[in-house]
Structure 1
Amino acid sequence: MNLSFITSILVSLLFVDNIEARWKPTQGMTWNYVLGHSVDIKIEKAQVLDVDVNKSVGTIEEYHKAGKKVICYFSGGTLENFRDDKDDFYAVKGLVRNTYEAWADEKWLDIRKADLKPLIKRRMETAVKKNCDAIEVDNLDAYQFDEVKSWDDPLTKKDLINYAIWLGKTAHELGISIGLKNALFMIDEVSNYFDFAINESCAALSHPECHLYKNFLKQGKAVFGITYNGFSRYQSALCKELNGLGISMIVKETGALEQAGTIFDGKKHCKNFDPGKNT
């Protein structure tokens, strides 16, 4: 038998094994989003925890022992100045650009630079080694921001879509699930490359966006949402905008990603609410 044929079969089987082994969240799972703050696992009620990839192996193991699934966060569109690998990013000519005005400790990345990919892949490999169940890669909507539009050669929508597809493919090659963070402009184009989605404030915006996940949800994929600055302030909007969709929502009382929060329960918090799971 041809050696190259055997090799291709083995590669295909390995790919299938990765798909089958990869954890995929299901619609209706509860979640909590905690960045920059500690987690008291003894009081945590959510089934899924989204925390920074910098968490130690021991901490992630503790979460697993408590029955939690763990999503590990890092930014793929900006460089955060507290990352241990930041010097590697600065070493790539033209990669690190201007400051992200909303977050003064972050700088935009030119995601078109080929030398970015091994750096991001290494972060994914770190998540795999730490036994994270999934990753969240933030700031994939860079082309929409004025700071990036001001570049002589600004990023385009197509640039971000290409990057997102590469992220999804690479995560899956490593056997780990990946969630699409915000970036609704590309949800339909890249949905096949992502296992779930994460959204900020889809029900709290002046023009709500939760309904834009309908096609993604129809694929049976989970959407985890977060609403900031108070449950009572947005309860009515949440009941209206989440009705029939199947989005899992955590509500924080402030803009901080502390552990405290309210897990939205439409049947408890609303009248005539349809949880709308598509699984």
Structure 2
Amino acid sequence: MRIRLRRGAVRLRRVLSTGAALVLLVPMCACRIELAPPGSPTPWPAASARHWQWQWQLSGPVDPDVDADVFLLDAVRTTSAETAELRARDRRLICQVHVGSVDTGDPDASRFPAGVQGATGHRPQSRWLDVRRWDVLEPALADRFRLCRGKGFGAVALADADGYLYRSGFPLEFDDQLQFNRRVAGLARSLDLSPGLMNDVPQLAALAPDFDFAVNEECVRLAQCGKLLPFVDAGKPVFHVEYTGTTGAFCVTTVGYGFASMRKQRTLDAWREPCALP
């Protein structure tokens, strides 16, 4: 004897089957990890801090084929198309911004009054800035950071954040620089950028809680690598470069410390010779 189901029962069975399928699909969708969209701060998982490969390029056409996880690039020269291509390859992008100096060739040079410009800086035609004048510097620096965010960067490295160590033309003290660097790190975070400290070795220990990563030049040659350990101990990446010597000579030291290290030319073009990962 064949039993015929009523139309209502058939509909109910179909609804229940569809619902069961949806229940099974929801966990699968929830497990997908989405990439951070442009303008979001770059994450730096502590478990990966010792395993990044990086590239630092400020001259020549950006080479997207470099085998590196992290790219440190110039804020102005780098185009949105270049950052889009790198992001499509799941690269982490750091924007280099000079926060303690201004160059006559900078597009926003006119925003820094003569009163806050001091002695000649590191770059050609550059001047150190009076970092005590936060009221004057903050609006221009915020726009420099917005430029980075608008181009798809998720992190910013603060260059020339150590004017107190040089004859800047201003009586800058250790505490003046410390307060300024903390303010700039906070400004970057407020604009959804992950802040990184470039050089400023004497203040690394004090500033480790305020920054997500460090960028260092020539700690081996200058015998300063040990001072970068507060970042390593906190599970934060240290991106290190040497311009002289061989990787065979310095990689043993820096990789042992837990740094992401490589050798570059001072022109910071596409060429690099990285240390092997542990």
Structures share fold, TM-score greater than 0.5: yes
User: Is the aligned partner of 1:129 residue 2:150?
Assistant: yes
- Cα gap change, 1:237/1:229 in structure 2, threshold over 3 Å: closer, same or farther? closer
Cα distance in 1 between the residues matched to 2:201 and 2:270:
26
Q: Tell me the matched-pair count.
A: 233
Task: For residues 184-216 of structure 1, give each alpha carbon's deviation from its aligned partner in whole angstroms, at most 9, with x where no partner exists.
Answer: 1111211111110000011122xx111112222
1:107-122 alignment, distance < 5 Å: 107-113=127-133, 114-122=135-143
Cα distance in 1 between the residues matched to 2:152 and 2:275:
28
Question: Structure 1-normalised TM-score?
Answer: 0.79
Alignment-derived partner of residue 156 in structure 1: 173
Cα distance in 2 between the residues matched to 1:243 and 1:65:
29
Q: Which consecutive unaligned segments of at least 5 residues does structure 2 have?
A: 1-39
Q: CA deviation at 1:98?
A: 1.9
Alignment-derived partner of residue 78 in structure 1: 101
Alignment-derived partner of residue 235 in structure 1: 248
SS in 2 for 1:115: helix
Alignment-derived partner of residue 27 in structure 2: none
Would the aligned equivalents of 1:229 and 1:255 in 2 still touch at CA under 8 Å? no
User: Is the aligned partner of 1:224 residue 2:247?
Assistant: no
Would the aligned equivalents of 2:156 and 2:194 in 1 still touch at CA under 8 Å? yes
Q: CA deviation at 1:243?
A: 4.7
Q: CA deviation at 1:104?
A: 2.6
Q: Which consecutive unaligned segments of at least 5 residues does structure 1 have?
A: 1-20, 267-274
Question: Structure 2-normalised TM-score?
Answer: 0.79
Q: How high is the sequence identity, in percent, across the aligned residues?
A: 24
Alignment-derived partner of residue 51 in structure 1: 73
RMSD: 1.6
Task: For residues 69-114 of structure 1, give each alpha carbon's deviation from its aligned partner in whole angstroms, at most 9, with x where no partner exists.
Answer: 111112111112221111111xx251112212x4332111111112
Would the aligned equivalents of 1:179 and 1:194 in 2 still touch at CA under 8 Å? yes
The counterpart of 2:258, out of the listed 237, 242, 246, is 246
The counterpart of 1:263, out of the listed 257, 274, 277, is 274
Cα distance in 1 between the residues matched to 2:155 and 2:42:
7
Larger Rg: 2
- Cα gap change, 1:23/1:243 in structure 2, threshold over 3 Å: closer, same or farther? closer
Alignment-derived partner of residue 55 in structure 2: 32
Cα distance in 1 between the residues matched to 2:165 and 2:235:
29
The counterpart of 2:159, out of the listed 138, 141, 144, is 138
The counterpart of 2:86, out of the listed 63, 67, 89, is 63
SS in 1 for 2:157: strand
Aligned residue type for 2:93: V
